[in-house]
């Protein structure tokens, strides 16, 4: 097992379950000190306890990523405790899909707040705390590239995250802070089980060139690559992890 994150300090939003939790476990398994920031504080504490039980180091933070103060509090607590701050993974989002006619102001505000504003506030807090070698990884989506019926807000938010990623990389590059994005295709997590019809998932697998969905571990390994110095010459990039589906559908 490599130890790419030995002594490094990382904060993962939405790290209590799903893809975020997979990223938490993968970074911790390679020596990283992980902060788990999630609205589901009890689950975040459980995830932190599981990391510690496996011999890693973790802190849990409850809070809503739509708010700037949530990030300033978590990032400064990690920096104060460990003396450095190296990696931010912006992963959390609250999602609902539905026809355009059913969109409500509350839905729009929550999705933009958790999926877009959070990346702005996270980037701001992380950029202030990071020194040379810092890495920000934004979890976007293949939805940023395709027309998605019933997903107008989601696809728009994720396309916005890609724009934000490129601009942040251009601004922070001279400080040797990198900013990249991952665009997962459909990954079987609880969020997907709530939102997506199982028949549609089967159809998606059948149309995917590699004939399988990417797993949480696949996304976590891509995140580890972009968070680590192995990708030191890559910034402003977005990486599709989708079994080839997006290019095949287009
Ligand atoms: N699962 C997929 O198929 C898929 C595909 C493409 C992109 N993604 C992206 O990957 C990321 C993770 O997806 P997932 O399927 O693991 O999601 P999930 O719904 O399983 O988990 C999301 C986590 O974020 C937390 N969260 C939600 N709102 C929050 C808030 N306001 N403040 C703090 N924490 C909050 C939840 O408590 C939860 O722990 C998301 O950005 C999602 O858009 C997922």
Distance 174 CA to ligand 1 centre (A): 31
Query: How many domains in the chain?
Result: 1
Tell me whether residue 195 is in a domain: no
Tell me whether residue 154 is in a domain: yes
Tell me whether residue 201 is in a domain: no
Give residue 201's pLDDT: 87
Is ligand 1 within 6 A of the CB of residue 93? yes
Tell me the pTM: 0.97
Tell me whether residue 198 is in a domain: no
Encoded tokens for 28 = 């911790």
Output the domain CATH number for residue 20: 3.40.50.720
Tell me whether residue 200 is in a domain: no
Tell me whether residue 199 is in a domain: no
Give residue 250's pLDDT: 57
Give residue 142's pLDDT: 97
What span, in angstroms and rounded, lies between the C-alpha atoms of 14 and 18?
Answer: 8
What span, in angstroms and rounded, lies between the C-alpha atoms of 214 and 185?
Answer: 7
Q: Which residues of the chain have pLDDT under 70?
A: 250
Tell me whether residue 32 is in a domain: yes
Give residue 125's pLDDT: 98
Look at the block and give the residue holding tokens 């209590």. 16
Give residue 69's pLDDT: 98
Tell me whether residue 51 is in a domain: yes
Q: What is the pLDDT of residues 25-69, one digit of tens each?
A: 999 999 999 999 999 999 999 999 999 999 999 999 999 999 999
Give residue 193's pLDDT: 75
Q: What is the pLDDT of residues 228-246, one digit of tens each?
A: 999 999 999 999 999 999 9
Residue 81 belongs to domain spanning: 9-187+214-243
Is ligand 1 within 6 A of the CB of residue 91? yes
Nearest CA among 109, 41, 3 for reference residue 15: 41
């Amino acid at each position: 097992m490599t130890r790419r994150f030995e002594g490094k300090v990382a904060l993962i939003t939405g790290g209590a379950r799903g893809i975020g939790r997979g990223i938490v476990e993968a970074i911790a398994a390679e020596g990283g000190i992980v902060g788990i920031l999630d609205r589901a504080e009890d689950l975040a504490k459980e995830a932190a306890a599981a990391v510690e039980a496996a011999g890693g180091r973790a802190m849990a933070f409850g809070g809503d990523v739509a708010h700037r103060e949530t990030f300033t509090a978590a990032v400064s607590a990690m920096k104060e405790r460990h003396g450095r701050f190296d990696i931010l993974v912006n992963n959390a989002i609250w999602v609902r899909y539905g026809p355009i006619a059913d969109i409500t102001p509350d839905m729009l505000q929550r999705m933009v707040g958790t999926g877009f504003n959070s990346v702005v506030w996270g980037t701001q807090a992380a950029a202030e705390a990071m020194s040379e070698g810092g890495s920000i990884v934004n979890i976007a989506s293949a939805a940023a590239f395709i027309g998605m019926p019933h997903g107008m807000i989601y696809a728009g938010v994720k396309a916005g995250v890609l724009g934000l990623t490129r601009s942040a990389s251009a601004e922070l590059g001279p400080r040797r802070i990198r900013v990249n994005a991952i665009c997962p295709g459909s990954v079987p997590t609880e969020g997907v089980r709530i939102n997506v019809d199982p028949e549609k998932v089967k159809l998606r697998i059948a149309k995917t060139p590699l004939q399988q969905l990417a797993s949480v571990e696949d996304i976590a390994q891509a995140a580890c690559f972009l968070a680590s110095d192995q990708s030191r010459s890559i910034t402003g990039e977005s990486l599709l992890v989708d079994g080839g589906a997006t290019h095949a559908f287009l």
